[in-house]
């Protein structure tokens, strides 16, 4: 029958090409404890983001400063196999970098991992961000809501004063 070569071709194409990437861990409902190693996991076959030519990934971590003025990024690993499915990250170098630069980062759920998907030659095809995470574990992690609440209080006080003066 003529269907055999067609089915064989389609079957090979399906099993060879499709990489549907998705981060699966850590659990974003839990804070990342930067004093401990963190296991980052992914599923390269069943996620919503499809990149058929992807063969490897570079893994990054992004943190937002506590005053929400900047986003900092660190490359955690390069050329990881998609099929590996996990990477154990020791946050020690990121922690040292933050301490050395005297920067504080937000305690809120605003930090993320990024996978930069690579083709056979190592060129970046696309990138996928994880869910966002809150962090804990060090003094340089500060709640950004306090500063916003203080500004909000002063704005409300000024608005109330102006409203009272208008009615006089």
pTM: predicted TM-score of the whole model, two decimal places:
0.75
Q: In what order do the strands lie in the sheet with 20-25?
A: 49-50, 20-25, 38-43, 86-89
Given a cut of 80, whether residue 20 has pLDDT beyond it is yes
Asked if the structure places residue 39 within a domain, the reply is yes
What does the pLDDT look like over 98-151, one tens digit per residue?
999 989 999 999 999 999 999 999 999 999 999 999 999 999 999 865 444 444
CATH code of the domain covering residue 62: 2.60.40.10
Asked if the structure places residue 8 within a domain, the reply is yes
| Averaged pLDDT, 52-57 | 93
Asked if the structure places residue 161 within a domain, the reply is no
Asked if the structure places residue 164 within a domain, the reply is no
Asked if the structure places residue 160 within a domain, the reply is no
**Which residue range(s) make up the domain with 110?**
3-143
**So what's the pLDDT on residue 67?**
86
Residues 56, 59: Cα–Cα separation, whole Å: 10
Would you report the helix, strand and coil content of the chain in percent, each value rounded to 5?
Answer: 30, 40, 30
Residues 141, 132: Cα–Cα separation, whole Å: 16
Task: Determine how many CB atoms are found less than 10 A away from the CB of residue 115.
Answer: 27
Residues 58, 77: Cα–Cα separation, whole Å: 6
Asked if the structure places residue 157 within a domain, the reply is no
For residue 25, give both structure tokens. 């861990």
Asked if the structure places residue 107 within a domain, the reply is yes
Q: In 46-130, where does DSSP find H-type helix?
A: 92-101
Asked if the structure places residue 48 within a domain, the reply is yes
Higher pLDDT, 117 or 160: 117
What does the pLDDT look like over 57-107, one tens digit per residue?
999 999 999 987 899 999 999 999 999 999 999 999 999 999 999 899 999
Query: What is the domain count for the chain?
Result: 1
């Amino acid at each position: 029958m003529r269907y055999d070569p067609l089915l064989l071709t389609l079957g090979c194409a399906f099993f060879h090409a499709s990489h549907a990437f998705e981060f699966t861990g850590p659990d974003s409902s839990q804070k990342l404890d930067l004093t401990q190693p963190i296991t980052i996991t992914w599923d390269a076959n069943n996620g919503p983001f499809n990149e058929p030519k992807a063969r490897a990934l570079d893994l990054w971590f992004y943190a937002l400063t506590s005053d929400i003025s900047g986003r900092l990024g660190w490359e955690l690993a390069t050329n990881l196999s998609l099929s590996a499915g996990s990477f154990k990250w020791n946050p020690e170098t990121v922690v040292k970098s933050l301490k050395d630069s005297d920067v504080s980062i937000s305690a809120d759920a605003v930090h993320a991992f990024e996978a930069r998907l690579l083709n056979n030659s190592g060129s970046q095809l696309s990138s996928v961000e994880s869910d966002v995470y809150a962090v804990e574990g060090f003094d340089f992690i500060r709640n950004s809501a306090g500063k916003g609440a203080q500004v909000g209080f002063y704005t409300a006080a000024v608005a109330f004063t102006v409203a009272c003066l208008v009615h006089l």
